[in-house]
Amino acid sequence: SSCPFLYERENKLTGVLDDCFCDIESIDVFNNFKIYPRIQKLTERDYFRYYRVNLNRPCPFWPDDSHCSIKDCQVEPCPELAYVLFCFCIGGQYSQVANDITDIADCEQAQDLGAINSTLSNYTKEAFEDWARHDDAQDHFCELDDETSPDANYVDLLLNPERYTGYKGPSAWRVWNSIYEENCFKPRSVYRPLNPMVPPRGKECLCLEKRVFYRLISGLHSSINIHLCAEYLLDEGWGKSLWGPNVQEFRQRFDPAETKGEGTRRLKNLYFLYLIELRALSKVAPYFERAFVNLYTGDHQEDRTTKELLLQFFNDTKAFPMHFDEKSMFAGQKMEAKTLKEEFRLHFKNISRIMDCVGCSKCRLWGKLQTQGLGTALKILFSEKEIKNLPEHSPSKGFQLTRQEIVALLNGFGRLSTSIHQLHNFRALLKEKR
């Protein structure tokens, strides 16, 4: 049968998740019927649809190789010749090969798919200046200067949906390799398709905190891949593109037979990440419940409606009966727990810097947003005491979140909610193919 791992019990994408007491079926029902519809409405509001981001920061770890970042190697600009020399990366060396004119169209398409739509009205730009005067910046969990950098600009997320862009090959591999190999406290027995020449070593036991960190990064990677498979460019003609789910692409990334048994684990890590961010959202609700906390856009009716929707959403998150118990993390000896927490923070800060090495603008946008969203969720879980002791009438003291952190937190979780909803759609498609 075709790709049964999503719905057959023996293939294990079912039942209780590791490291927590929640089952996948309960998450599916809770997300698809309660959370997903609410988060979709919320992220369409003006406060949440605009994200300030600096897409021009240089990669701090290796020379910029954006010319080799799309369709195995991007050519810039695409020449208007019948034949063109395309470069592609092999073992760090460049080779050249002549391709026919159809590849020119491929290159132009890939550049177009990965480009940012920066369209903003004059009214919207004036509103952003008003927002900046209103906002009071605070410390950041991530290595992101996008709130204060003169090179940062607001981007309309609704005009720049996360979907397939053609970004793949050596540049993309290097980004994810850097995240996994340099940052993760990974179990050495995990098969790494990005580095298949390295043989797996013996099993290595990780403490809960280090397992959690690895699973968060793996879950984020899985979520991004699901979006690319679910919003794939199926056809393009007569000026209109056809986007939709690509089942074959999904199988290549998640079918155990195609991934040496890793696909199901990757999907489980997505559910685990969902639980972590869901828990953070339920814990941060008291911060927003205070009367003076305002989701400011300058339109008082819009602001009031957005906050009402947000508080309703928080009530839904708190109603989930099987939350991840974050008290089990950093619960050992005080000094060891403090060291682990700082290690967590520094590793994650480094990952946010690696996102500046992504060679596709639209991929970089969503990578930076989702990284900051996860970083904000961790900041919340690390700040339980501060949130419990929030002053009722003082906006400038105690735990605080910036506009960017709030926008990233809700949109990042919205991406996870969408991934789980899209998995439901893939189940139906795969059953049809059996």
Residues marked active site are found at 360, 363
243 annotated binding-site participant: no
DSSP state of 57: P
- Residues 367, 82: Cα–Cα separation, whole Å: 36
SS3 34: helix
Burial 400-421 (b: 16+ CB within 10 A, else e): bbbbbbbbbbbbbbbbbbbbbb
In whole angstroms, give the CA distance from residue 282 to residue 319: 9
- Whether 218 has a binding-site annotation, put simply, is yes
Assign 83 to helix, strand or coil. Answer: coil
**Residue 123 Cα to chain centre, angstroms:** 30
The answer on whether 165 is annotated among ligand-binding residues is: yes
- Per the DSSP assignment, residues forming a β-bridge with 87 are 96
Q: Which helix (H) or strand (E) holds 305?
A: helix 300-318
Residues whose CB falls within 8 Å of the CB of residue 319, separated by 6 or more in sequence, listed in order: none
Closest C-alpha among 3, 33, 20 to residue 268: 20
Q: For 95, how many CA atoms within 13 A lie in the half-sphere containing its CB?
A: 8
d(CA 113, CA 150): 26
Longest dimension (CA), the chain: 69
Distance CA 45, CA 299 (A): 12
Q: Is 118 within any annotated ligand binding site?
A: no
CA–CA gap between residue 138 and residue 158 (Å, rounded): 26
Contact predicate 422/224, CB 8 Å? no
CB atoms within 10 A of CB 208: 14
- Treating both helix axes as pointing N-terminal to C-terminal, what angle do 263-289 and 361-381 enclose, rounded to 10 degrees? 60
Q: Which residues are annotated as a binding site for FAD?
A: 163, 165, 176, 218, 221, 253
Q: Which residues are annotated as a binding site?
A: 163, 165, 176, 218, 221, 253
